[in-house]
Amino acid sequence: MSAGAVLAALSCIAPTEAADCPRKDALGTSRVLSVDAQTTPRVGLKSFPQTLPLADHEVVLTFDDGPHPPTTSKVLAALAQECVRATFFLIGLHASQHPDMVKRIAREGHTIGHHTWSHPFMARIPFDKAKNEIDRGIAANEMALKGMSTTTPATPFFRFPYFEATPAQLDLLQSRGIVVFGADLWASDWNEMTPEQELKLVTERLAAAGKGIILFHDPKARTAAIMPAFLQYLRENGYRVVHVVPAAAPQKNADAH
């Protein structure tokens, strides 16, 4: 199915989501974008030649390194207030420590991606150890989410810590049908700064880029603090939030809908 056909098929989803939002003036989630590893195995202009097919003023919100209940809960509250869906790339160790928060993220409609077991510099460790980091992280997230350990992710989305990977690691994920997410711009929230400085930085970068996959870290208190104001900025400046989900598996019969 072409990208246009996918978008056409998915376009009927957005009005239903909008109708479900209790706040009529909320930012909302404008559309759902299905991402397939076969057609887009790696996305994010900071790391790769291509990114998601976003129109001008469309953004995808992503959060790394959670869950961390004190701050992740504040981020989730801000997203819920605006009826916005995001993607959370979870560290397996953290997911295993806070399974209830993993379930909450999923229950509130967000996409759960994977971010290794312990967040190492993946390009600096042997391939077997890197593969174990990938598999153990996926298994921990799946266990937290569904109570069943598997290295086949329900959502085949992965982001490398520090955006650092070897060609062999990238090939491994592509062979397993797992999309590797980079980013198009980021809030640099790993640096020491005030919430006001972070908000200014990320909004200026977004204004310059015009669209893209944005990286935040939900364990950062400064990011949790700015999220309501950042979403307000999106709403007031005509940005639209796109929710990414994995492409559906091929159906085996004609009765599938």
pLDDT in tens, 123-156: 999 999 999 999 999 999 999 999 999 999 999 9
Contact 43, 254 (CB under 8 A): no
The domain tally of the chain equals 1
128: annotated active-site residue = no
Residue spans of beta strands (DSSP E) within the chain: 29-35, 42-43, 58-64, 87-90, 111-114, 157-158, 179-181, 185-186, 212-217, 240-246
| Residue 21, pLDDT score | 83
CA–CA gap between residue 186 and residue 179 (Å, rounded): 19
Q: Which of 10-24, 136-150, 172-186 has the lowest mean pLDDT?
A: 10-24
What average pLDDT does the chain have? 91
Q: Does the residue 141 lie in any domain?
A: yes
Q: What pLDDT shows up at residue 249? A: 64
Query: Where residue 69 sits, what CATH number does that domain have?
Result: 3.20.20.370
At residue 9 the predicted structure's pLDDT band, cuts being 50, 70 and 90, is very low
Is a pLDDT exceeding 90 seen at residue 66?
yes
229-247 mean pLDDT:
97
Q: Quick one: what percent of the chain has pLDDT higher than 90?
A: 86
What tens digit of pLDDT does each residue of 79-92 get? 999 999 999 999 99
Lowest mean pLDDT among 12-21, 71-80, 180-189, 197-206: 12-21
Within a domain: 135: yes
- Domain assignment present for 60: yes
Sign for the CA dihedral angle at 62, 64, 66, 71 comes to negative
Boundaries of domain holding 186: 39-246
Q: Given 110, 217, 218, 243, which residue is catalytic? A: 217
Q: Please determine, for residue 196, whether its predicted confidence score (pLDDT) is greater than 70.
A: yes
Catalytic residue among 64, 65, 184, 189: 64
**Mean pLDDT lowest among 22-26, 57-61, 189-193:** 22-26
Cβ pair 160, 179 in contact under 8 A: no
Query: How far apart, in whole angstroms, are the C-alpha atoms of residue 202 and residue 222?
Result: 12
Query: Residue 248: is its pLDDT beyond 90?
Result: no
The average pLDDT across 160-170 equals 98
Confirm whether 68 is a catalytic residue: no
Tell me whether residue 17 is in a domain.
no
In this prediction, residue 48 carries a pLDDT of 97
CB 220 within 8 A of CB 189: yes
Over residues 22-39, the mean pLDDT reads: 93
Domain-embedded: residue 253: no
Residue 5 in any domain: the answer is: no
Higher pLDDT, 218 or 13: 218
Asked if residue 181 is part of any domain, the answer here is yes
Q: How many beta carbons lie within 10 A of that of residue 204, not counting itself?
A: 11
What DSSP designation does 129 have? Answer: H
Ranking 30-44, 131-145, 173-187, 240-254 by mean pLDDT, the lowest is 240-254
Per-residue pLDDT, 250: 56
In a domain, 14, yes or no: no
**Distance (Å, rounded) from C-alpha 6 to C-alpha 127?**
36
Q: What is the pLDDT of residue 8?
A: 37
Q: Give me the pLDDT at residue 96, please.
A: 98
pLDDT of residue 24: 86
